[in-house]
Amino acid sequence: MTRYLGVDLAWGEGSTTSAAKETGLVCLTASGEIIAAAWARGIDAVAEWLSENAQQGDVIAIDAPLVVNNESGMRECEREVAQRYGRWKVAANATNRTRPWQGGVTLRKRLEAKGFVYTSGSPASVEQVTFFECYPYTTLVGAPEFGYDVERPRYKRFNNALMDVAAKRSLRASECDELIRRTALLSTATPALALESHPNTEMLVSQRSPLSDVPYKHREDLLDAALCAWTAALWHQYGDDRCQVLGKGDVADDDGRVAAIIAPAKPEQRAGARQSKSTTRQALTYSELLAEATKVLIRNGTRDLDGSTFALAKTKHLAALDALEINALSESGAED
């Protein structure tokens, strides 16, 4: 049976004076069981882990630019991320050959040397290990299973609507915990992803996200690797029915490789779909309520985030927004 491996790659390769950052790694079976979950530092260690865990017929999804042919600007696949997913506040960093982070290109070369085959959308073969580039944000807003119908979760970067660093960290952790809660529901989905089936990923579910940056990033890397593995399963099992290839019209390199991102997609995220603002609003989570309340506070000139003025105003606005959420749920007939 085909297995699915996810790699949340640290783009920088490190140096003699600075170690490479951690890469998250997950191996998922077709039934949804996670049989390996780990972290590695450096391209050599990542390539070795993949070599040890991947077998003929497996599919690997890697969150990193794997093919970079452009000397400047951004790749076409990155441009199409913004065009197709911008409504959900998803965009990609610009990558070109002048950028210092080329770890994905180095990893691609290492994997090709081992006989693994890069794909920009061609079906995987049972006779080889196939790997492709993915982008977790497109998975989160492109797969209905996660329920992010309005915008991406803010679990990576700080929300600049908040002015206090402690508040930013708290909101980021809350967003991550909500994402983990939603991801844990994939244990009964098709394809399945059972976070609780491996000790390392089970801790994502059983423990709350830390506030400090280093342990938080450690946790986030493994979560993103699990999302990458699930993306590999989704593409392999459903192909173009559930995913699209971004950048497939770009110029190929001398060996025929095209810089492409394979991304889950709803009908309204595909080429030619009308990009209009959604007229519906899903029920707000607590973290979304807090973010919205803070925006109101800032707009109204209440900036003392640590004082009693903010606490009182926050309570007031959260109560009002919570009432709106309860009304919306009541009108829609939704249940807890």
290-323 tens-digit pLDDT: 665 555 554 444 444 445 555 555 555 555 554 5
Instruction: Give percent above pLDDT 70 in the chain.
Output: 81
The answer to whether residues 179 and 312 belong to one domain is: no
Contact 70, 96 (CB under 8 A): yes
Give the domain extent around 187. 4-279
Over the Cα atoms of the chain, what is R_g?
21
| Predicted model pTM | 0.82
Q: Residues 93, 226: one domain?
A: yes
**Model confidence over 239-263: pLDDT tens digits?**
999 999 999 999 999 999 999 999 9
Single out the residue in 232, 261, 279 at which a domain terminates: 279
Q: Do residues 36 and 126 both lie within one domain?
A: yes
Q: Is the pLDDT of residue 103 over 50?
A: yes
Helix runs in the chain, H state only: 43-53, 76-85, 103-113, 136-142, 165-184, 199-206, 213-238, 286-299, 308-332
The answer on 174 and 217 residing in a single domain is yes
Distance (Å, whole) CA 6 – CA 24: 8
Handedness of CA 144, 189, 261, 247 (dihedral sign): negative
Parallel, antiparallel, or unpaired: how do β-strands 4-8 and 22-28 relate? antiparallel
- Please say which residue of 256, 279, 302 terminates a domain: 279
187 and 332 fall within a common domain: no
Do residues 170 and 189 share a domain? yes
Q: How many domains does the chain have?
A: 2
The residue among 242, 263, 279 that closes a domain is 279
If residue 146 lies in a helix (H) or strand (E), which one and from where to where?
none
Do residues 294 and 273 share a domain? no
Q: Are residue 307 and residue 269 in the same domain, yes or no? A: no
> In this structure, are 174 and 293 located in the same domain?
no
Q: Is the same domain home to 256 and 296?
A: no
Distance, CA of 273 to CA of 296 (rounded, Å): 33
Closest C-alpha to 102, from 264, 262, 259: 259
Same domain membership, residue 333 and residue 199:
no
pLDDT category at 114 given cuts 50, 70, 90 is very high
Contact predicate 233/3, CB 8 Å:
no
